[in-house]
Copies of this chain bind each other. A is one copy, B any other.
Amino acid sequence: MSSVHPVLLGGTWRASAGLETFTATNPRTTEPIPDRYPISPWAEVEAALQAAEQAFREMLEMPAEVRARFLERYADRIEARRAEIVAMAEAETALPAEPRLNSTELPRTTDQLRQAAAAAREGSWALPTIDRQRNIRSMYRPLGPVAVFGPNNFPLAFNSVAGGDFAAAVAAGCPVIAKANTSHPGTTRLLAEEAFQAVKEAGLPSAAVQLIYRTSHTDGERLVSHPLLGATAYTGSRAAGLVLKAAADRAGKPIYLELSSINPVVVLPGALRERLTKVADDFLGSCLLGTGQFCTNPGLVLLLAGPDTEAFIAEIARRFNAAPVGTLLSAGVLKSLRESIRRLQEAGAEVIAGGQPGGGAGFSHRNTLLKTTGRQFLAQPEAMQTEAFGNESLFVVCRDEDELAAVLEALEGQLTGCFYTDTQGSDDKLYARLEPILRRKVGRLLNDKMPTGVAVSPGMNHGGPYPATGHPGFTAVGIPASLRRFAMLACYDNVRPHRLPPELQDKNPNGRLWRFVDGEWTRS
């Protein structure tokens, strides 16, 4: 019999009072991993909220340097424990240690933490704005404790206790209550252990970072709508996210959701004529990456009927059949992928490659290519937009430009949308017609590039219109903008100079802070 891992609550690792427990499963072997994790009862969630509130009050009094130091120490510690963390993440997710976990996702995670540290230290994220004549000043200030629900598909870079939402919330000045994704509790535990050490080293309040592994659904709703909570960040399934959204909305609590996206890729005829193989390379590399388990996976490809399109589809089908079949994250992902493919088939899509489970180690499903026509898509646009999370894509062949435009008009909000066009201008007229339609539907528009790389850049938007997210004005990736999700606009009207936060006093506090002073952005 194995003991149950403790939760990180109020500044200590303590045994959970929860009577129920759960284990993770190794997706490659489909065997349970012995470690047992608790399902926390409401009293623990409430205790976490109370402790986070106290930590928040203390953090408000601390210079940003403390948060910055924490984020950097934490990044260092993750690197120091890299081998163990990567091995655990591989065991729990079946994502390959190399290059994915060790050489891509872990460096991305520590880079995010360090970028967040730099943003916290500089302070410009808060958009300090000063009207000297009227003596009215404002800036973004942290909202309060933030609950982070991480997804299953990025055990490190979107981990609730280490990923982008975590880094942004802490950098903004908010304590985090992390709710582990239940498919990788061990990875989350190792990260939280390092976070907690870094909290102590940096001198943050000890409850600035807390971890619970799981709650009942009802308690999740209570958490996101609790008076002491500042905001929630959630990345996961649409169904579960919408339940949390409804609870948070009723309570007037901000909730930032990343829900679902099928990331349309429009391949115009000139692009295929010019570089069919290159487009196929790009698509394969993107669509089967991580066994297709990316929020930005290209799940929908739109094409115009013609011989190049037929050749392209045949080429992709051939490559899908030839490519190795990866392991999926969990039995749940496999089940959901099967159901989604079935729903697409019921709506009239035809299987061109794959279509059946199996073909790889453990939880796996053959690389699946579906095909339909623009007419069929338009007959059931909702069903045809079913997200099939995994190594699947649906190709829609449109009869003509009007039908292609109509398919784009029928799309829901998406994280991304791409156009592939030729380089000589033969697709430009059609691009000009279609771009305005797709532009409104997507947070990020790409040219000649697949959507799966989400760079941590100030120019990035990892967001988009509903139902891709809950609000089209916010991004989950990209510093400094992602920090502002966890902040309120705080105005100081005629407040005496010595009572102003340093960022809003006449003198620039560190000489590097960007401020909007009397209509001009300045560092002086």
The verdict on A278 contacting chain B, using a C-beta distance below 8 Å, is: no
Q: List 6 A-B contacts (CB under 8 A).
A: A439-B490, A443-B488, A447-B494, A461-B489, A472-B489, A514-B521
Q: Mark A499-524, 1 if CB is under 8 A from B, else 0.
A: 10000000000000010100101100
Query: What chain B residues lie within 8 Å of A458 (beta carbons)?
Result: 129, 131, 516, 519
Given A470-B252, A472-B254, decide whether A495 and B459 contact each other with a Cβ distance below 8 A: no
Task: Looking at the assembled complex, report how far the CB atom of A413 sits from the nearest CB atom of chain B, in whole angstroms.
Answer: 8
Scoring A residues 359 to 390 as 1 if CB is less than 8 Å from chain B, else 0, what string do you get?
00000000000000000000000000000000
Is A140 an interface position by the 8 A CB rule?
yes
Per-position contact with B for A475-511: 1 when CB-CB < 8 Å, else 0?
1001001001101111111111001000000000000
**A226, CB-defined interface residue at 8 Å:** no
Known contacts: A458-B519, A488-B473. The answer to whether A447 contacts B495 by CB under 8 A is yes
A179 part of interface (Cβ distance < 8 Å):
no
Contacts of A464 in B (CB 8 A): 488
Asked if residues A467 and B252 are in contact (CB atoms below 8 Å), the reply is: yes
A143-B472 in contact (CB<8A): yes
Contact B249 A494 (CB under 8 A): no
Known: A445-B493, A460-B138. A466 touches B521 (CB 8 A): no
Q: Which residues of B contact A249 (CB under 8 A)?
A: 245-246, 249
**Which of chain B's residues have a CB closer than 8 A to the CB of A447?**
493-496, 499
Contact A489 B494 (CB under 8 A): no
Closest chain B CB from A285 CB (angstroms): 15
Q: A436-B60, A493-B446 are in contact. Are A488 and B472 (CB under 8 A)?
A: yes
- Number of A residues near B (Cβ < 8 Å) is 74
Does A465 lie at the interface of the complex (its beta carbon under 8 Å from any beta carbon of B)?
Answer: yes
Please give, as numbers and ranges, the residues of chain B lying within 8 Å of A446 by CB-CB distance.
Answer: 493-495
Is A186 interfacial (CB 8 A cutoff)? Answer: no
Provide the residues of chain B in CB contact with A496, threshold 8 Å. 447-448
| Alpha-carbon distance A440/B137, docked complex (angstroms) | 16
- Whether B457 lies near A131 (C-beta < 8 A) is yes
Interchain CB contact under 8 A, A489 and B463: yes
Inter-chain contact B499/A466, CB cutoff 8 Å: no
Query: Bound state CA distance, A513 and B431, in angstroms?
Result: 27
A129-B481, A521-B521 are known; give 18 further A-B pairs, CB within 8 A: A131-B458, A136-B460, A138-B461, A249-B249, A251-B466, A254-B473, A445-B492, A446-B494, A447-B493, A447-B494, A448-B496, A451-B493, A458-B519, A461-B491, A473-B487, A473-B488, A474-B489, A521-B522
Which B residues lie within 8 Å of A416 (CB)?
Answer: 493
B residues less than 8 Å from A440 (CB atoms)? 144, 488
Alpha-carbon distance A135/B443, docked complex (angstroms): 16
Q: Does A429 contact B (CB under 8 A)?
A: no
Q: Are B459 and A136 in contact (CB under 8 A)?
A: yes
Residues from chain B with Cβ under 8 Å of A519 in the complex: 458
Q: Which residues of B contact A488 (CB under 8 A)?
A: 440, 443, 464-465, 472-473
In the complex the two chains form, is A457's CB within 8 Å of B521's CB? Answer: no
Q: Are B471 and A254 in contact (CB under 8 A)?
A: yes
